[in-house]
Structure 1
Amino acid sequence: MPAHLQDWGSAIRLETAGIESDAAALRFAAGGLCGLLPLILGHHLRQMATFSDRASPPADMTFHPRAIGIACAIGAVGLGLGYLAMAGAPARYLGVNAGALILGLCVLAAIRQAGTAVRLRPGTMTLLLSVLLLATALGGARVDDAARWVNLGGLFIQPSLVLLPLMILDFARSPNRRSTWGMIVTAAALALQPDRAMAGMLATGLAVLAIRRPDDDHVSRALAGAIAGFAATLIQADRLTATPYVERVFQSAFSLNPIAGMLVLAGAALLLVPAMVGGARAQGNRDIHAVFAAVWGVALVAAALGNYPTPIVGYGGSAVIGYVLSLAMLPKAAPARSRGKDMLDVGTADDSPAHRLKCVVLA
């Protein structure tokens, strides 16, 4: 815990030690953690968003943002499988989430091995993917007047959960005219679906980027389109009801028992760890890590407040694949101290990891 919250942690430990019932003690500790977790996350996010230079680890230390992210993804999926098993979810649900994790990791491995046979101009991939999201809004599977899914042999996939985090982070790496139009088309697509959670993810991610880069006209235009799209979702009715094991997972887990609630809470917290570690240790890449935290933080908040899918820890392969793919936008292993240089190669070299990712996604 941050220094200003450590007294609260000590108080919870002392109070828990005096409770005779293990179940009651665990329930009390879980309640205390739920109350403190927003303050803990807020502290680390404020540190990431600061513009002032802070002390960093020694220059000879290295960290691996993508490796940390992969470990967190595996851990979060594992905790989610534990919750699903405790909640009595069908075995198929567990298989879908585990299979989505394997598929996502295979794609990441393919990115490293992919060649550069397909050459795209910067921003083209974001624009193409935005058209795919627009096509989903216009011709996708509809449920209660919402068109957010594609039916693949009886398995419903939500393309926005798979592609939107990737698109936002790709735009953050190298905003230009094409990617800006991609963000605007995406905002329109999310407004047509409509999907408040994904529209809020887009608007919040771009707002964080605009705070970090106030003089970037591309970011400002994209943010204006995202805000308009989010506003359009707010004035439309959202009649979707909660699906067991998919939405309202935080509430249902704690109503089941404290252990299930802690599994879900811990899995959700793991999703933000790569951004916190990277934001604290990679001086030159805080923009990307701050956007990453905003994107997945909004997804978690939306899941807690409304009938929206709970990423990773709830049933649904789309979020699992989307999270793993978004890890490819984090920087490679690099010295923890940037020495004034940006460790994230935001250039447009055809052999960059971002370009190889685009080749695989296009395929």
Structure 2
Amino acid sequence: MSVGLRRALAALCCRLLQAVLPPSMQSWGWAVRYEAASIPDDTKALLFAIDSLSGLLPRALAVHLLHPFGEGSTAMNRLDSMLRRPRALGILCAISAALLGIAYMAFAGAPIRYLGINLGALAIGLSMLGMVGNIAMADRRWADTAIVAMAGALLATALFGAQVDGATRWVNLADLAIQPSLVLLPVMLVAFAQTRSATAAAGLVISAAAMALQPDRAMAGMLALCVTILAVIRRDPATVIACAAGAAGFTATLMRADSLPAAPYVDQILYSSFDIHAGAGLAVWGGTALMLVPAIVGLTRDPDNRAVYAVFGAVWFAAIAAAALGNYPTPVVGYGGSAIIGYVVSLFALPKLTGVPARKAWRGDDPADRSPPAGDLLVALA
């Protein structure tokens, strides 16, 4: 990385910090900016800026959560007001995690193009979230058709997609390699958490076959984990069939070798980021932890929608675990727009307000669709 580029990235980190800091903390942002500008060594200035960004961002997030929604509110009431908005909380976590990932890549020396791709993916995901949410509100019967259509896209990728070292997981668009499973599978799973139709289950059976054909052990494990949790929560035939298909697909991927090497700024960065600098490692791990916040908050505060939060959390926990255990993409904080889009769009399943069902069942309000006690969810997660 050139000297001028390091100085420019340090300035960018300072501006990003000022953009996310609340008014009460803007003096901190200016202090970091002046201090970074006064450091003569460009590398040290960039290190200082990244350390400051990763250190102050959690405080800024906490202040935003405590931001008053009305005069006379106590701090606890303000916090409660924000935590009652799971989708808004998820959007804030997505933006923060993506920015931390960009900060890591900037210091690690990733090409500027990589930073722009992740930012562009974040903007695309937020736009798609608005469209998906509007469609879901307008027609709650869209899920079955959408799940089958997305399953067909995953199967087409396995059969006709770009192949690398025996794996067929990507679609090439211009100079970009898109991994459709990271975009579509999370959305399919959170949508299936809200319906129990045979058509939707058929879509997941097709998806399990597609993951086995690619093969993609990480995504097959994600599917298997989520449908197993749902099978514990609701023991209906459609979910049990999807669970069996998910287990079979995951088993098939375990029987095939996965020899893909680690890609720079994508795989194994949960560990390699600390080799660069402690601040880079903290940025990666902090962004990764933020991804699970909406699920954790929802499981503890919104019993009416526990099944949705359990699946949302399981989806992204599986993606993070796969990245920690093998050469699989590190979602949101690593290079690659597919996971960023998938994470943001999957937020559509979270309700705008806690205590309000995210989506009423498309087949009618069956008492069996209601979320189980927390104990059953803990058994499923175990």
Which TM-score applies when normalising by structure 1?
0.75
**Residue of structure 1 in register with 2:362 after alignment:** 348
Contact 1:148 1:158 (C-alpha < 8 Å) held by counterparts: yes
Distance 1:165 1:125 in 2: 13
Contact 2:220 2:253 (C-alpha < 8 Å) held by counterparts: yes
**Residue of structure 2 in register with 1:97 after alignment:** 118
**Residue of structure 1 in register with 2:30 after alignment:** none
Contact 1:123 1:175 (C-alpha < 8 Å) held by counterparts: no
Tell me by how many angstroms 1:347 deviates.
2.9
Structure 1 segment 115-130 matched on structure 2, within 5 A = 122-130=143-151
Instruction: Extract unaligned runs of 5+ from structure 1.
Output: 1-56, 350-363
Are 1:255 and 2:275 matched, yes or no?
yes
Contact 1:142 1:149 (C-alpha < 8 Å) held by counterparts: yes
Instruction: Find runs of 4+ consecutive structure 1 residues off by over 4 angstroms.
Output: 112-122
Distance 2:139 2:306 in 1: 30
Please point out which of 318, 323, 327 is paired with 1:303: 323
Closer/same/farther in 2, CA of residues 111 and 221 from structure 1, 3 Å limit: closer
Alignment RMSD (CA, Å): 2.4
**Residue of structure 1 in register with 2:203 after alignment:** 182
Are 1:330 and 2:350 matched, yes or no?
yes
**Cα offsets for 1:159-204 (capped at 9, x unmatched):** 0000000001111100211011101000000000000000000001
Closer/same/farther in 2, CA of residues 110 and 125 from structure 1, 3 Å limit: closer
Distance 2:156 2:149 in 1: 11
Distance 1:347 1:271 in 2: 26
Provide the aligned length of Structure 1 versus Structure 2. 288
Q: Which amino acid aligns with 1:348?
A: W
Q: Which amino acid aligns with 1:254?
A: F
Please point out which of 118, 129, 144 is paired with 1:108: 129
Closer/same/farther in 2, CA of residues 259 and 191 from structure 1, 3 Å limit: same
Tell me by how many angstroms 1:108 deviates.
1.8
Tell me by how many angstroms 1:119 deviates.
8.8
Distance 2:347 2:324 in 1: 23
Distance 1:284 1:138 in 2: 40
Q: Which amino acid aligns with 2:242?
A: A
Tell me by how many angstroms 1:112 deviates.
4.9
**Residue of structure 2 in register with 1:145 after alignment:** 166
Tell me by how many angstroms 1:344 deviates.
2.7
Contact 2:179 2:338 (C-alpha < 8 Å) held by counterparts: yes
Are 1:199 and 2:220 matched, yes or no?
yes
Closer/same/farther in 2, CA of residues 273 and 229 from structure 1, 3 Å limit: same
Closer/same/farther in 2, CA of residues 295 and 236 from structure 1, 3 Å limit: same
**Residue of structure 1 in register with 2:105 after alignment:** 84
Point out which structure has higher relative CO (alpha carbons under 8 A, 6+ apart).
Answer: 1
Contact 1:101 1:324 (C-alpha < 8 Å) held by counterparts: yes
Closer/same/farther in 2, CA of residues 87 and 137 from structure 1, 3 Å limit: same
Which TM-score applies when normalising by structure 2?
0.71
**Residue of structure 1 in register with 2:22 after alignment:** none
Are 1:230 and 2:273 matched, yes or no?
no
Please point out which of 290, 300, 303 is paired with 1:283: 303
Closer/same/farther in 2, CA of residues 120 and 143 from structure 1, 3 Å limit: same
